[in-house]
Amino acid sequence: MSEFSPFQETVLANGYKMVDGVEMNRRFGDRFAVVNPWFKKHVAVGEFVEVRIDSDRFSAHPDADPACSCELCGEEASSPILSHEHPLSLLDVPRQKVPSRGWGEEFWVRITARQDDYLRGVIDNYLYESRLHGIDQGDEIVFQEAHILSVHAAHNRDIMFRLEDEDCQEFGQWLMDRRDQDD
C-alpha cells in the first residue's frame, strides 16, 4: 500500500490487534475455518464481514478451569474470544452486560470502501471490551483481506454472481476437492 493511501490500518489500544485468519487457518487447519479466498476477493461495499481482535496482554481469568478449551477449534482457551453471531443491523440484540476481562472479540463490520486488499468498514455490533481496545459499534476501522474470518451468508449469492470465470472454475475445483476429502 502506498504511503499516500487513505487506508491506514486501525491501531488499537492495550496491544489489541486484528487476527490474521489466513495465518490462524494455516496453524490450526479446519479447526480455525475461514471463508474461501474467492469470497474475500469479491466482498463489496455494503456487505458484512466478520473479523477478530485479540491482545496478548490478557489471558483467561484466574479461576478458569485449566483444561478449558475453545468450543470452536478445540485449542486451550488461554485467551477466550467473545463472539457475535450476526450483525446488529440484521439481528437487533440489545447490549449485554458482560464483565470486562480483556478477552478477544469477533464481530461484524459493514464494508464502506475497498482498495486492493485493504477494507474500510463500520463496526455493526456492540462490543464488550470497548473500554480496553477503544472501538465500538458505529466506529470505522481499516483492516486487510487476510483479517476476514467470514462473509455473512446473506451475501453468498451476490458474491457468486460476481466471481470472474477463472475464479469460478478455481472455486468449483476447491469445492470438489473438499467434498472428496470429506468422503
Domains in the chain, number: 1
Residue 19 contacts residue 143 (beta carbons within 8 Å): no
| 4 within domain boundaries | no
Q: What is the pLDDT of residues 93-143, one digit of tens each?
A: 888 888 777 889 999 999 999 999 999 999 999 999 999 999 999 999 999
Radius of gyration of the chain (CA): 17
Q: Determine, yes or no, domain membership for 67.
A: yes
On the question of pLDDT at 4 being above 80, the answer is no
Decide if 6 is inside a domain. Answer: no
**Grid cell at residue 163:** 466471481
Total residues belonging to the chain: 183
58 against 9, higher pLDDT: 9
Residue 25 resides in a domain: yes
Q: What is the residue range of 48's domain?
A: 16-182
CA distances 14 to 53, 101, 102, 133, Å, are 11, 12, 9, 6
Q: Which residues of 73-101 are buried (b: 16+ CB within 10 A; e: fewer)?
A: beeebebbbbebebbbeeeeeeeeeeeee
In the prediction, which pLDDT does 1 show? Answer: 40
What is the SS3 assignment for 40?
helix
Q: Which of 7-16, 49-58, 138-147, 166-175 has the highest mean pLDDT?
A: 138-147
Provide the pLDDT for residue 71. Answer: 52
Q: Is residue 3 part of a domain?
A: no
86: cell is: 450476526
> Mean pLDDT score of the chain, rounded to an integer?
86
Q: Which residues pair with 53 in a beta bridge?
A: 18, 105
Contacts of 165 (CB under 8 A, 6+ apart): none
* Confidence (pLDDT) at 155: 96
